[in-house]
Each structure stands twice: as structure tokens, then as C-alpha cells.
């Protein structure tokens, strides 16, 4: 399928990929804490007939350097753009912190029809990196809505990785310890997915070494079940934080973090999730 590519510079750096035959379904693609514009994932979706938009949602001009008090209106503006290009149905596909953003946007913006949350969290977490003021501490929310920071769980900076020398670190234990330390924050920081009108698909690996995305996915699904809202969890025991969709390159090696899972497990989880992703976007 021929795809028309447009590079955007306002209101954020982005790439818009449109099938030459047009599409009435748009997909916003959100990377995680890499901060990249996920062109490859957007192209895969455009080649399936969707209008795909991948944006830089932090780290660009006028944006916070880190994931710190990022306005959810950033993503609402992307929904507006997709609607303005003829999308009658809009989905958001986000991974990790991008999945957190996708879920929260759907909670606050009823025009989101589908969310695909890959390696999600069920909680609003504190900032990762500095805000517009250049400061990383004290901890602040990752997100704001209408200028108000969302309630969040801080990180417990007393945590230390166990027996991992100078190599890449698995930080899942940091999040798990922080939940115990700041247990009083959990209720107010929970992502209220039961309020979202969108259909929700959750993709998670049980061996995620960054944070416990499968337990988080199960918590999100339980909240949806309480109100009879549609939700599905696609999971594998041998997959980690970075499932790979069919046609995507293998995940790059990191010298900083351990992501968990195996290459084959990550590939097979992406394959298992691919048809449910396409089905929901096309419904």
C-alpha cells in the first residue's frame, strides 16, 4: 500500500503517514521514555490502511525536557489533528510511559475510541527527568489536565538494585518498593479506566524487568470489569517490556536498563497482539 509521509514541526515534531486511498481511522502512536517519534511503528499501521500520527510529546521545543507535568492536552491536540484529517474513529497506541499517557487521555477525552496499551501501568507515576524549570526534584506528577497536576506515586529513592554491579539495571523492584513505601498514594493515583469510553487492549510480558506491567494490566482489566466495559489482556510469560510487532526491528540493546523477556518471547507477544490490535482499530 502506498503511504504519503508528511513531516510536521508544529505544534510538535511529528510524522503523519496517510494511505493514498485515505482512511477513516486514525491512530496516535506514542513512544515511551525514549522520547522518540516512533516512525517505524506508525508506518506499520499506515501500511495496514490507517492514518497514523507519531509525535514527540516531550523533549522538543516548548516542551519539558523530561516526562514532567506533561499536559494531557498534548494528546488531545493530536486527536484533533487526526479528526481534522477525516478520521471518524481514533485510537491511541502507546508503550510504557506512552501507554500511561494513552490510558489517561482516554479517561479525560471521550473522543478516543480505542487504546492499545503496551507494557502499561495502572498508576500515575512521578516525573522521569526535569520539567520546564529544569528541576527533577522534588518529585512531581508526570501529567497535568487543565493545568492541574494529576495525583501520583513518588519513587522511593532509598531503593538500590540487588547484586547487579555496573551493568544494565532492572528497575522493576524500584516501582514495587515505591508502591509499598507510598501505599497511601495508590488509591488517588490509580488510573480510572472504568471511566473511559474507549475499548482497551492491554499487552504485557510477565518477565517485564522495568515495572510489573502484567500485574498492572490485570489491575486495569479488573477496574474495567467492575463496570462491564470492554477490555482484553494479551500476555506471555517469556516476554519483557518491549514486545515487537510483526515487521519491527529487534529492540536495541541498552547499556542502562534490563528490559526482561527473551527476543523470541517479545516477538511472539507482538505477533499474538497484532490481530487484536488491527481488529479493534477496524471495528
Mean pLDDT confidence for 96-107: 98
Return the percentage of the chain with pLDDT > 70, whole number: 99
Q: What is the pLDDT of residues 24-58, one digit of tens each?
A: 999 999 999 998 999 999 999 999 999 999 999 99
Q: Residue 22: its pLDDT value, please? A: 87
Please report the pLDDT score of residue 55 as a whole number: 98
Is the pTM higher than 0.95? The answer reads yes
When pLDDT is cut at 50, 70 and 90, the band that residue 163 belongs to is low
What residues make up the domain containing 14? 3-282
Instruction: Give the pLDDT of residue 162.
Output: 80
Q: Is the pLDDT of residue 282 over 80?
A: yes
Which pLDDT score, from 0 to 100, does residue 165 have? 63
Q: According to the model, what pLDDT value does residue 164 have?
A: 57
What is the band of 166 on the pLDDT scale with cuts at 50, 70, 90?
A: confident
Give the tens place of pLDDT for each residue, 104-160. Answer: 999 999 999 999 999 999 999 999 999 999 999 999 999 999 999 999 999 999 999
Give the pLDDT band (50/70/90) at residue 1.
Answer: confident
DSSP sequence for the chain:
--EEEEEE-SSS-EEEEEETT--SEEEEEE--TT----HHHHHHHHTTT-EEEEE--SSSTTS-SSBSSEETHHHHHHHHHHHHTT-SEEEEEEETHHHHHHHHHHHH-TT--EEEEES--SB-BB-BS--TTS---S--BSEEETTEEPP-BPP-TT---SS-TTS-B--HHHHHHHHHHTGGGHHHHB--GGG--SEEEEEEETT-SSS-HHHHHHHHHHHHHTTT--EEEEEETT--S----TTPPPPPP-SSB---S-HHHHHHHHHHHHHHHHHHHH-
pLDDT of residue 252: 87
- Is 90 exceeded by the pLDDT of residue 210? yes
- Average pLDDT across the chain, whole number: 96
Task: Please compute the mean of the pLDDT values over residues 257-262 and round it to a whole number.
Answer: 96
Please check the confidence at residue 198 and state whether its pLDDT lies above 60.
Answer: yes
Res. 187: pLDDT tops 80: yes
Supply the CATH number for residue 177's domain: 3.40.50.1820
Number of domains into which the chain is organized: 1
Confidence (pLDDT) at 51: 98
Amino acid at each position: 500500500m502506498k503511504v504519503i509521509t508528511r513531516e510536521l514541526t508544529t505544534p510538535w515534531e511529528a510524522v503523519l503517514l496517510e494511505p493514498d486511498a485515505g482512511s477513516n481511522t486514525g491512530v496516535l502512536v506514542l513512544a515511551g521514555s525514549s522520547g522518540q517519534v516512533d516512525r517505524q511503528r506508525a508506518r506499520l499501521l499506515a501500511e495496514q490502511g490507517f492514518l497514523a500520527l507519531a509525535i514527540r510529546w516531550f523533549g522538543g521545543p516548548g516542551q519539558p525536557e523530561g516526562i514532567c507535568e506533561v499536559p494531557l492536552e498534548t494528546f488531545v491536540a493530536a486527536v484533533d489533528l487526526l479528526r481534522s484529517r477525516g478520521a471518524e474513529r481514533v485510537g491511541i497506541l502507546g508503550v510504557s510511559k506512552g501507554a500511561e499517557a494513552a490510558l489517561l487521555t482516554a479517561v479525560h477525552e471521550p473522543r478516543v475510541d480505542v487504546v492499545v496499551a503496551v507494557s502499561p501501568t495502572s498508576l500515575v507515576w512521578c516525573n522521569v527527568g526535569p520539567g520546564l524549570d529544569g528541576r527533577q526534584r522534588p518529585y512531581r506528577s508526570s501529567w497535568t489536565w487543565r493545568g492541574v497536576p494529576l495525583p501520583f506515586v513518588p519513587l522511593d529513592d532509598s531503593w538500590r538494585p540487588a547484586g547487579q554491579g555496573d551493568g544494565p539495571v532492572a528497575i522493576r523492584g524500584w516501582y514495587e518498593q515505591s508502591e509499598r513505601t507510598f501505599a497511601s498514594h495508590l488509591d488517588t493515583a490509580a488510573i480510572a479506566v472504568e471511566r473511559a469510553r474507549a475499548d482497551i487492549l492491554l499487552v504485557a510480558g510477565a518477565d517485564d524487568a522495568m515495572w510489573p506491567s502484567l500485574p498492572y494490566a490485570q489491575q486495569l482489566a479488573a477496574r474495567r470489569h467492575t463496570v462491564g466495559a470492554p477490555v482484553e489482556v494479551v500476555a506471555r510469560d517469556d516476554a519483557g517490556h518491549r514486545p515487537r510487532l510483526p515487521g519491527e526491528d529487534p529492540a536495541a540493546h541498552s547499556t542502562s536498563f534490563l528490559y526482561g523477556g527473551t527476543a523470541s518471547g517479545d516477538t511472539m507477544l507482538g505477533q499474538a497482539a497484532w490481530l487484536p490490535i488491527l481488529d479493534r482499530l477496524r471495528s
